[in-house]
């Protein structure tokens, strides 16, 4: 029997956000640019383009902020774990410094938008820390500190650690920030409305066709958007004509929780551990003024078949042992894609340029980078140069080993032989449980919902056919190859897949 995590299976940020709804596309429309994806990348790209006088239509398949933006820790920082020593060693000083400056630019842009538009999103300046207790981890911190010094990054080694980590060493990066990303997102969406940007929810990008010198975007609605350029600001590009993105990006999932209570006097700062297993934590504030702890970690390849419930249990254990926290309020998963050199892909979809652009591969650190990326994209479309264009160019020289190593799920847990009937398996399941079996040699998923109804699904991902795996913590079917995520009954939640998992008869 699968263990159910405590609290509500929903992102704290989405649950506490102040938001507005937007209509589905209900007629054929036109714009200079179509932006597909209502996360922070797409919303800021739309803002940057509208600022430069372009007419924009922003379409989102589900709800604005329903993807990665609503599942992050809300850390607005250029400190992405320990990355700068590696960047120096592999790519040189210019690339390493430019990576830092790009993220600083993004952080400063978001801060300026918060101030300019008076967005209430709990924005606050704070320092970012990587902490470690192990000898090996402290040695890595010292190498990273040397990279900070060489690159002129404001930071240093320090003994200033949070309660519960008094014996740890830490590397601090100064003058960073944290915020409520969803409330920021909806503040910018309100500005987009006033700028004349067309905003549509429940409108999924399906394909684009060339019509003379214009592109016609077809959606899941019986209407189209005609435009000159397209920006694909989705988790995974929904166009991949040469399988470049499929072959070079790997999907990963992290798990996060929110807690209230505890009796620790919390100071300032946001933290991530270098020691394994990695833990990330910061605080925020609930509507009633209570302190909320955001605690996460347990990053793993998407759809690897491991128990998500077990991962939430590990985070609960950490929260109790480190901070005395036992009152879990919410828990959720966050999905992202990692490129071979850990730099996002921002630029033309295809090598040599095109009228379609991508914003993807943020590697779990996309909040600050996305703001800089929005300026890069706007510059590419309007003909204005940006210093980070080459840094993020999808078609830059990559490390040689760029093959996607995430094959299908090879675990045998939960498999049933073909002679076992679906009815018998369904009778054994509790409400909210799912199991994998094989029928006629093909993988089949059986899910029993809270009403006791049984749903039988073909487990072949509708993107490129990889077998999806059951995520028992979030009750989703996750693809290990390219990161598509389907709900318990097969509907698309995230990723490059455009259509639901196929429903099967008993």
Q: pLDDT tens digits for 318-340?
A: 999 999 999 999 999 999 999 99
Q: Is 463 part of any domain?
A: yes
In terms of domains, do 171 and 255 share one? yes
In terms of domains, do 166 and 128 share one? yes
The predicted pLDDT at position 441 comes to 74
Q: What is the CATH number of the domain that holds 453?
A: 2.102.10.10
The answer to whether 359 touches 231, Cβ cutoff 8 Å, is yes
Q: Is 81 part of any domain?
A: no
Cβ partners under 8 Å of residue 89, min gap 6: none
Q: What pLDDT, in 10s, does the model give residues 14-25?
A: 999 988 899 999
Q: What is the number of other CB atoms lying within 10 angstroms of the CB of residue 484?
A: 29
Burial 453-477 (b: 16+ CB within 10 A, else e): eebbbbbbbbbeebbbbbbbbbbbb
Residue where a domain terminates, one of 308, 336, 364: 336
The predicted pLDDT at position 411 comes to 34
Q: Which residues pair with 56 in a beta bridge?
A: 33
Q: Which residue from 479, 488, 463, 491 is spatially nearest to 303, judged by alpha carbons? A: 479
Token couple for 107: 């952080």
pLDDT, average across residues 445-450: 91
The answer to whether 45 touches 359, Cβ cutoff 8 Å, is yes
C-alpha 127, offset from chain centre: 22
In terms of domains, do 285 and 430 share one? no
Cβ partners under 8 Å of residue 183, min gap 6: 17, 18, 119, 120, 121, 122
In terms of domains, do 320 and 452 share one? no
* 3-class DSSP string for 452-501: CCEEEEECECCCCCCECEEECCCCEEECCCCCCEEECCCCEEECCCCCCC
The answer to whether 150 touches 88, Cβ cutoff 8 Å, is yes
The one-character DSSP state at 220 is S
Q: What pLDDT, in 10s, does the model give residues 224-281?
A: 999 999 999 999 999 999 999 999 999 999 999 999 987 777 778 999 999 999 999 9
The one-character DSSP state at 186 is H
The predicted pLDDT at position 403 comes to 44
In terms of domains, do 265 and 276 share one? yes
In terms of domains, do 189 and 55 share one? yes
The one-character DSSP state at 503 is B
Q: What is the CATH number of the domain that holds 131?
A: 3.30.9.10
Name the phi and psi angles at 395, rounded to 5.
Answer: -105, 25
In terms of domains, do 328 and 259 share one? yes
SS3 377: helix
Share of the chain above pLDDT 70, in %: 94
Residue where a domain terminates, one of 336, 358, 374: 336
* 3-class DSSP string for 19-33: CCCCCCCCCCEECCE
Cβ partners under 8 Å of residue 31, min gap 6: 55, 56, 57, 198, 225, 226, 227
Domain housing 218:
22-71+182-246+341-392
Q: Is 86 part of any domain?
A: no
Tell me the residue length of the chain.
506
SS3 296: strand
Q: Which residues pair with 273 in a beta bridge?
A: 131
SS3 256: strand
Q: Which residue from 420, 428, 462 is spatially nearest to 448, judged by alpha carbons? A: 428
Q: Is 294 part of any domain?
A: yes
Burial 321-345 (b: 16+ CB within 10 A, else e): ebbebeebbbbbbbbbbbbebbbbb
The one-character DSSP state at 352 is T
In terms of domains, do 166 and 255 share one? yes
CA 213, CA 158: separation in Å to the nearest integer? 58
Q: Is 322 part of any domain?
A: yes
Share of the chain above pLDDT 90, in %: 80
In terms of domains, do 58 and 163 share one? no
Cβ partners under 8 Å of residue 383, min gap 6: none
How many domains, the chain? 3
How far does the chain reach from its first CA to its final CA, in angstroms? 23
Residue where a domain terminates, one of 375, 392, 409: 392
In terms of domains, do 430 and 490 share one? yes
Q: What pLDDT, in 10s, does the model give residues 196-214?
A: 999 999 999 999 999 999 9
DSSP string, 102-133: HHHHHHHHHHHHHHHHT--S--EEEEEEEEE-
CA 417, CA 397: separation in Å to the nearest integer? 46
Q: Is 353 part of any domain?
A: yes
Q: What is the CATH number of the domain that holds 205?
A: 3.50.50.60
In terms of domains, do 478 and 352 share one? no
418 vs 463 pLDDT, higher one: 463
Q: Is 293 part of any domain?
A: yes
With a cut of 90, say whether residue 155 has pLDDT above it.
yes
With a cut of 50, say whether residue 192 has pLDDT above it.
yes
Q: Which residues pair with 218 in a beta bridge?
A: 207, 224
Q: Is 346 part of any domain?
A: yes
In terms of domains, do 148 and 220 share one? no
């Amino acid at each position: 029997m699968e263990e159910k995590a405590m609290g509500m299976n929903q992102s704290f940020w989405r649950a506490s956000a102040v938001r507005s709804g937007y209509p589905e596309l209900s007629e054929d429309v036109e714009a200079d640019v179509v932006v597909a994806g209502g996360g922070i990348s797409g919303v800021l790209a739309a803002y940057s383009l509208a600022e430069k006088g372009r007419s924009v239509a922003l379409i989102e398949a589900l709800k604005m902020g329903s993807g990665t933006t609503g599942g992050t820790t809300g850390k607005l920082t250029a400190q992405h774990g320990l990355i700068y020593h590696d960047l120096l060693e592999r790519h040189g000083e210019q690339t390493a410094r430019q990576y830092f400056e790009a993220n600083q630019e993004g952080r400063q842009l978001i801060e300026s938008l918060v101030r300019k538009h008076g967005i209430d999103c709990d924005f606050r300046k704070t320092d970012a820390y990587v902490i470690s207790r192990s000898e090996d981890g402290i040695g890595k911190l010292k190498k990273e500190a040397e990279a900070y010094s060489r690159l002129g990054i404001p930071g240093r080694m320090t003994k200033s650690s949070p309660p519960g980590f008094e014996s740890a060493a830490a590397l601090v990066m100064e003058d960073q920030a944290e915020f409520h990303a969803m409330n920021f997102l909806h503040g910018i969406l309100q500005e987009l409305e006033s700028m004349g940007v067309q905003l549509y929810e429940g409108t999924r990008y399906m394909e684009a066709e060339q019509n003379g010198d214009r592109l016609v975007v077809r959606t899941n609605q019986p209407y189209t958007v005609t435009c000159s350029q397209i920006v694909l600001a989705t988790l995974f590009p929904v166009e991949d004509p040469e399988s470049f993105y499929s072959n070079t990006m790997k999907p990963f999932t992290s798990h996060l929780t929110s807690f209230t209570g505890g009796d620790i006097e919390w100071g300032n700062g946001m933290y991530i551990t270098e020691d394994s297993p990695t833990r990330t934590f910061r605080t925020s504030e609930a509507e009633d003024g209570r302190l909320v702890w955001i605690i996460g970690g347990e990053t793993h390849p998407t759809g690897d078949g491991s128990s998500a419930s077990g991962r939430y249990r590990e985070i609960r254990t950490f929260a109790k042992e480190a901070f005395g926290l036992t009152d879990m309020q919410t828990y959720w998963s966050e999905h992202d894609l990692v490129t071979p050199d850990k730099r996002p892909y921002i630029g033309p979809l295809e090598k040599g340029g095109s009228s379609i652009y991508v914003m993807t591969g943020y590697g779990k650190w996309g909040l600050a980078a996305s703001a800089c990326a929005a300026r890069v994209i706007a510059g590419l479309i309007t003909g204005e140069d940006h210093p980070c264009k080459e840094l993020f160019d999808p078609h830059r020289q990559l490390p040689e080993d760029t093959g996607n190593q995430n094959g299908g799920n090879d675990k045998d847990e939960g498999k049933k032989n073909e002679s076992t009937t679906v009815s018998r398996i369904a009778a054994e399941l509790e409400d909210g449980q799912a199991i994998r079996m094989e029928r006629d040699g093909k993988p089949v998923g059986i899910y029993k919902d809270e009403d006791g109804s049984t749903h039988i699904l073909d487990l072949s991902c509708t993107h490129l056919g990889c077998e999806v795996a059951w995520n028992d913590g979030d009750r989703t079917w996750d693809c290990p190859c390219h990161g598509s995520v389907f709900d318990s009954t097969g509907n698309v939640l995230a990723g490059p897949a455009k259509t639901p998992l196929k429903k099967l008869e008993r």
